Chain A
Amino acid sequence: MGADCRFRQVCHVWRVTTLPAPFADWFAARGWTPRPHQLAVLDAVRRRENALLIAPTGGGKTLAGFLPSLIALADDPPEGLHTIYVSPLKALATDIARNLEAPVAEMGLPIRVETRTGDTPANRRARQRARPPHILLTTPESLALLLYDPEAASRFAGLASIVIDEVHALAGTKRGDQLALCLARLARLAPGAVRIGLSATIAHPAAIRDWISPDGRGGATALIAGEAGAAPEIGMLIAPGRMPWSGHMGLMAAEAVLGRIREARMTIVFVNTRAQAELMFEALWKHNEETLPIALHHGSLAVEQRRRVEAAMAGGKLRAVVATSSLDLGIDWAGVDQVIQIGAPKGVSRLLQRLGRANHRLDEASRALLVPANRFEVLECAAAIEGVAAQDLDGDPPRPGGLDVLAQHVLGCACAAPFHPDDLFAEITASAPYAALARKDFDDVLRFVEDGGYALAVYERYRRLFRDAEGVVHVRNEAVARRLRMNIGTIVEAPVLKVRLGGGRGGIVLGEVEEYFAAMLAPGDTFRFAGRLLRFLGIRETSVLCAEGGTGEPRIPAYVGGRMPLSTNLADRVRLMLHTPATWDRFPAPVREWLGLQAARSALPAPDDLLVETFPRGGRWYLVAYCFEGRQAHQALGMLLTRRLERFGFQPLGYVATDYVLGIWCAREPTGVGRLFEEDLLGEDLESWMADSSMLRRSFRNVAVIAGLIERVHPGGEKNRRQITVNTDLIYDVLRKHDPTHILLRATWADAAHGLVDLARIAGMLARARGRVHHRALPRVSPLAVPVLLEIGRERVGGGEAEEALLGEAEALIAEAMGPGALV
């Protein structure tokens, strides 16, 4: 740990003359030479320009961000805050603080570095207020809290530099929206401060530069690219034995994975969901006869548990960690020399981010293995390996900023100081996410913050803001400001309960499970969590009480929104690969045979057509469409096609969606298949289906919490928690009916349009398929259709009519099983 790993340099021939003597000596003493991109950042800052540095892991990126500040502060620094560093992770801020200690101490620099996050104790906050450090390391939420304070103007007046780490992980998210608004505020409070953004390699560098720039349009901002690192070495690990047709867990590969763990120093085993992490951890230990130290890390484990695992990794005490995206970002563990991805990689950028965890030195290739969990994933892994080699980065450019975040910010600004709406509008439209914001939307957001902004204006006496004679907006009272401080931030968690081992108050907290999972447990049930087999005892207040051990089939907690869709780039590659038998030699024999049989019995999906098969099976007719647009898009498409099949009289009975394929079953044989996919499919049906869907309701809940319509859940507030979960759905229904153009509904729809439903992908697919639907009417199921048929019944459907059908089915089943007498 320490400076050695994060700031490790590789000798490089470059002039060091631009560094002041103590710094040049310090570099030389460690056998380092400043990298060109470090000097380029320094140059930009000397020209009073902003900079976006894009460099892979291991390039001395963080030091590049801090060098200008360290140099500026080296001689007799004035009191007051000089530099703010913002990171998406608290742990990263703490780690960077530790790493900065080395150069500061070794060069004897008179610089004070401190962190401020949600974990910072009150006495330290008070001390920071009285005597601010020169360099403050913080998170977007803590920065917002500092800015929404009446002292903000004086506190930030002398600010000279703002370093934003992992920009790619923030831009385009709601946390990023809030940070962008805070940067716009800082530009007003400290007009001289420069911004330095640090980012991993991304698909849209220009958009990220705009995001960093003070005008939101890329002005006065240098785009600096670090040198590319060595190309990663990626292989595919195919477990011996049969290749599964479906399933996403990859557990059959556990023994083979353990073999690879044995051969490396330290391995991160990445999986896609928390449930998969629990199962893979268990499967590895089942084979782990020599008890290699293997740990588990995911976002629902208690913070202390995660810190313990991280510390063990840092100390080189582990051989492997099974992890979810909880380890995608953050601290660089020097000891990690192998990354194994189990299951579909889903996208090239995400895979590269994960590969980077085993990459500490630019000149060394990182080693990685992909482990497909089923046949389609073999294709996806091969496509991802190609995509990484081609540096075919995926991901969308940042979407426009959320109106809910803006609402929170507007209230925060009012709490800091009175403002005139025209001034605030000018300020926020200088940030990239809100650069194109319409004045009407801003005014509606402001009205929402003032009095709810309802068409029925009845809350005059409960206003949160008031305007004086000159139109200047003031906050009504301190209670409003206090409420805001309690509810800052844009991370909205699903309601969760703590998992407490040992019962009673003294038990250890293992982590959290979602409320709905806890509600499904009956005393005596067993479940697997935090790598342990646990027996459920009961729920007390906000805790799930449990004991170690138990019998019976354990349940695994699942978490809402765990799965990412397949990226468009990868989908295109998979499609091309399917159609090019010359590329199949890299696949294991069962996969080659499978594809060969498909070509013989039906057809292979081509890159520029849409293969649709229909066939009878078990008294039903199946329609399988090979769209490759990701699960979310397929679900929406499934709904649309079902309605159309209904209208055409084919009596559809249900549908199932995977990342690759959509399957629908009907009572009658679907004919005239080409008509089904005509572009007018995307009509009103979609809107009403979406409005009723559980994802839109969840999206509304987030919007309502972030915008301040309802309060965030506080620990211990079990009653409030229950009311919040009920109420946002009820509020949503009432608002939809009585105020359908309300700003919060508009904010919800905007969220949905950008990412929740992948509408653009459906539209693109329909346009591509126009006149190119390749229909094969088959006598029986085709080889390629088997995986989707195996998914039937596993799929979780949310909201609306699907729920009604499920309830009816469950009712009939129970009535049948228990007899009519049971229901009286």
Chain B
Amino acid sequence: MTAAPIHRAAGRFLLDPAGAVFWPERRALIVADLHLEKASSIAARGGLLPPYDSRATLDRLALLLRRYAPERVIALGDSFHDAAGRARLPAEDASRLARMEAAHRFLWIEGNHDQGAGRADHAEAGAVFRHAAGEVAPGTVEFSGHFHPKARIATRAGAVARPCFVTDAHRVLLPAFGAYAGGLEVTAPPIRALFPRGGQVFLLGRDRVYAFPLAHAAKAA
């Protein structure tokens, strides 16, 4: 497992192929869009999806907590699929999350799905953390989620689509971490508009991330 280092205003950050960012200097792990309890939220409307999504997401989070042993975890909103999500966590998953929260300081930021589940944003040492990308002050870098970016890259044998990070000098857009979170192509206008001067995508791979110019996504080889 190899994380890719990037350098931005606030320092050095590692993009992990699991879809999280580690900030070594502040010992903080950054994740976005966990969407815990998405399946049970959908079940209420009739779609009986396998109810293991929270478990699967927490499994992956646990791996990262072991790998980086962060002091803090910054969750960039939509951590629960709806405002009542935390209350619906199966007992086993709820106590697991509680143990994680006891061992690491969690900083919950609220998203559009889980309004009221945390603070609106957070700023620290030249970095700003929020759910959906906004204005970025000069000399700072913004970390956000919300869009669930994914990119499609043309290869010699057809296109390959993966969730990805999208970044330029001022922003880092994180892929969704939740097991059932879908994706939005980076060519879609809402994401394109955030990167008027282009940028870079890092596609999540099995053991590493794959870097491409943003302009290369979904264009023919």
Contact with B along A723-742 (1 / 0, CB 8 A): 10011001101110111001
Residues from chain A with a CB closer than 8 A to the CB of B216 are 814
A459 touches B51 (CB 8 A): yes
User: Which listed residue, A454, A459, A464, A806, touches B157 by the CB 8 Å rule?
Assistant: A806
Judged by a CB distance under 8 angstroms, whether A102 is at the interface is: no
Judged by a CB distance under 8 angstroms, whether B196 is at the interface is: no
Contact with A along B46-84 (1 / 0, CB 8 A): 111111110110000000000000000000000000000
Cα distance A480–B158 in the bound complex, in angstroms: 40
Residues from chain A with a CB closer than 8 A to the CB of B205 are 804, 807-808
Evaluate whether A797 and B213 lie within 8 angstroms (CB atoms) in the complex, with A520-B218, A737-B56, A804-B206 already known.
Answer: no
Cα distance A710–B39 in the bound complex, in angstroms: 11
Residues from chain B with a CB closer than 8 A to the CB of A479 are 46
Contact with B along A436-452 (1 / 0, CB 8 A): 00000000000000011
Residues from chain A with a CB closer than 8 A to the CB of B218 are 519-520
Contact with B along A290-315 (1 / 0, CB 8 A): 00000000000000000000000000
A807 touches B56 (CB 8 A): no
Measured CB to CB, the nearest residue on chain A to B7 is A824
Contact with B along A651-677 (1 / 0, CB 8 A): 000000000000000000000000000
Judged by a CB distance under 8 angstroms, whether A14 is at the interface is: no
Evaluate whether A522 and B220 lie within 8 angstroms (CB atoms) in the complex, with A462-B43, A810-B212, A823-B213 already known.
Answer: yes
Judged by a CB distance under 8 angstroms, whether A255 is at the interface is: no
User: Which listed residue, B44, B53, B90, B210, touches A807 by the CB 8 Å rule?
Assistant: B210
Measured CB to CB, the nearest residue on chain B to A450 is B48
A709 touches B157 (CB 8 A): no
Residues from chain A with a CB closer than 8 A to the CB of B152 are 516, 519-520
Residues from chain A with a CB closer than 8 A to the CB of B40 are 458-459
Identify which of residues 510-526 in chain A touch chain B, using a CB-to-CB cut-off of 8 Å. Answer: 516, 519-520, 522, 525
A516 touches B159 (CB 8 A): yes
A462 touches B46 (CB 8 A): yes
Judged by a CB distance under 8 angstroms, whether A46 is at the interface is: no
Judged by a CB distance under 8 angstroms, whether A803 is at the interface is: yes
Cα distance A742–B51 in the bound complex, in angstroms: 12
Residues from chain B with a CB closer than 8 A to the CB of A810 are 153-156, 160, 210, 212, 221
Residues from chain B with a CB closer than 8 A to the CB of A522 are 219-220
Cα distance A797–B52 in the bound complex, in angstroms: 30
CB distance from B201 to the nearest CB of A (A): 10
Residues from chain B with a CB closer than 8 A to the CB of A809 are 155-156
Judged by a CB distance under 8 angstroms, whether B203 is at the interface is: yes
Cα distance A462–B184 in the bound complex, in angstroms: 29
B200 touches A807 (CB 8 A): no
Residues from chain B with a CB closer than 8 A to the CB of A733 are 56, 179
User: Which listed residue, B51, B154, B212, touches A458 by the CB 8 Å rule?
Assistant: B51
Chain A interface main SS type: helix
A731 touches B49 (CB 8 A): yes
CB distance from A517 to the nearest CB of B (A): 9
A454 touches B50 (CB 8 A): yes
CB distance from B184 to the nearest CB of A (A): 8
Evaluate whether A814 and B213 lie within 8 angstroms (CB atoms) in the complex, with A452-B48, A726-B182 already known.
Answer: yes
A730 touches B213 (CB 8 A): no
CB distance from A432 to the nearest CB of B (A): 30
CB distance from B177 to the nearest CB of A (A): 12
Judged by a CB distance under 8 angstroms, whether A101 is at the interface is: no
Residues from chain B with a CB closer than 8 A to the CB of A818 are 213
User: Which listed residue, A459, A519, A709, A807, touches B203 by the CB 8 Å rule?
Assistant: A807
Identify which of residues 450-484 in chain A touch chain B, using a CB-to-CB cut-off of 8 Å. Answer: 451-452, 454, 456, 458-459, 462, 464, 479-480, 483
A727 touches B182 (CB 8 A): yes
B160 touches A709 (CB 8 A): no
B53 touches A726 (CB 8 A): no
Evaluate whether A458 and B90 lie within 8 angstroms (CB atoms) in the complex, with A516-B159, A814-B216 already known.
Answer: yes
B213 touches A803 (CB 8 A): no
Measured CB to CB, the nearest residue on chain A to B204 is A807
Cα distance A823–B203 in the bound complex, in angstroms: 13
Judged by a CB distance under 8 angstroms, whether A822 is at the interface is: yes
Contact with A along B26-37 (1 / 0, CB 8 A): 000000000000
Judged by a CB distance under 8 angstroms, whether A127 is at the interface is: no
Judged by a CB distance under 8 angstroms, whether B211 is at the interface is: yes
A452 touches B154 (CB 8 A): no
B48 touches A709 (CB 8 A): yes
Judged by a CB distance under 8 angstroms, whether A793 is at the interface is: yes
Residues from chain A with a CB closer than 8 A to the CB of B187 are 519
A823 touches B211 (CB 8 A): yes
A793 touches B210 (CB 8 A): no
Measured CB to CB, the nearest residue on chain B to A555 is B220
Judged by a CB distance under 8 angstroms, whether B85 is at the interface is: no
Judged by a CB distance under 8 angstroms, whether A609 is at the interface is: no
Evaluate whether A823 and B221 lie within 8 angstroms (CB atoms) in the complex, with A726-B183, A806-B157 already known.
Answer: no
Contact with A along B184-221 (1 / 0, CB 8 A): 11010000000000001001011100111100101111
Contact with B along A784-812 (1 / 0, CB 8 A): 00000000010111100111101111110
A710 touches B47 (CB 8 A): yes
Judged by a CB distance under 8 angstroms, whether A679 is at the interface is: no
Residues from chain B with a CB closer than 8 A to the CB of A43 are none
Residues from chain A with a CB closer than 8 A to the CB of B183 are 726
Cα distance A795–B219 in the bound complex, in angstroms: 20
Contact with A along B131-175 (1 / 0, CB 8 A): 000000000000000000010111111111010000000000000
Judged by a CB distance under 8 angstroms, whether B23 is at the interface is: no
B211 touches A811 (CB 8 A): yes
Cα distance A801–B218 in the bound complex, in angstroms: 21
Cα distance A454–B48 in the bound complex, in angstroms: 9
CB distance from A231 to the nearest CB of B (A): 43
Cα distance A480–B46 in the bound complex, in angstroms: 7
Evaluate whether A734 and B56 lie within 8 angstroms (CB atoms) in the complex, with A454-B50, A458-B90, A810-B155 already known.
Answer: yes
Judged by a CB distance under 8 angstroms, whether B106 is at the interface is: no
Query: Which among A555, A735, A822 has the greatest number of chain B C-beta atoms within 10 A?
Result: A822
Cα distance A737–B203 in the bound complex, in angstroms: 23
Residues from chain A with a CB closer than 8 A to the CB of B90 are 456, 458
Evaluate whether A738 and B52 lie within 8 angstroms (CB atoms) in the complex, with A458-B40, A711-B47, A807-B205 already known.
Answer: yes
A803 touches B50 (CB 8 A): no
A742 touches B50 (CB 8 A): yes
Evaluate whether A519 and B52 lie within 8 angstroms (CB atoms) in the complex, with A458-B90, A726-B183, A810-B153 already known.
Answer: no
B200 touches A824 (CB 8 A): yes
A459 touches B43 (CB 8 A): yes
Cα distance A711–B43 in the bound complex, in angstroms: 12
A807 touches B159 (CB 8 A): no
Judged by a CB distance under 8 angstroms, whether A125 is at the interface is: no
Residues from chain B with a CB closer than 8 A to the CB of A131 are none
CB distance from A700 to the nearest CB of B (A): 12
Cα distance A516–B160 in the bound complex, in angstroms: 10
B47 touches A739 (CB 8 A): no
Cα distance A452–B44 in the bound complex, in angstroms: 13
Judged by a CB distance under 8 angstroms, whether A286 is at the interface is: no
Query: Which among B182, B184, B205, B219 has the greatest number of chain A C-beta atoms within 10 A?
Result: B182
Cα distance A823–B212 in the bound complex, in angstroms: 7
Judged by a CB distance under 8 angstroms, whether A722 is at the interface is: yes
Measured CB to CB, the nearest residue on chain A to B221 is A810
Residues from chain B with a CB closer than 8 A to the CB of A793 are 156-157
Interface residues of B (CB under 8 A from A): 40, 43-44, 46-53, 55-56, 90, 150, 152-160, 162, 179-185, 187, 200, 203, 205-207, 210-213, 216, 218-221
3 closest A-B pairs by beta carbon, nearest first, are A452-B48, A726-B182, A738-B52
Q: With contacts A796-B157, A806-B155 known, what are 7 further pairs, Cβ within 8 A?
A: A458-B51, A459-B51, A462-B44, A516-B159, A727-B180, A797-B157, A808-B205
A-B CB contact pairs (8 Å), 29 listed: A451-B48, A456-B90, A459-B51, A462-B46, A522-B219, A525-B220, A710-B49, A726-B182, A727-B49, A727-B180, A733-B56, A734-B53, A734-B56, A735-B50, A738-B55, A738-B56, A739-B50, A739-B52, A742-B50, A793-B157, A796-B158, A802-B157, A803-B160, A810-B155, A810-B210, A811-B211, A814-B212, A822-B213, A823-B211
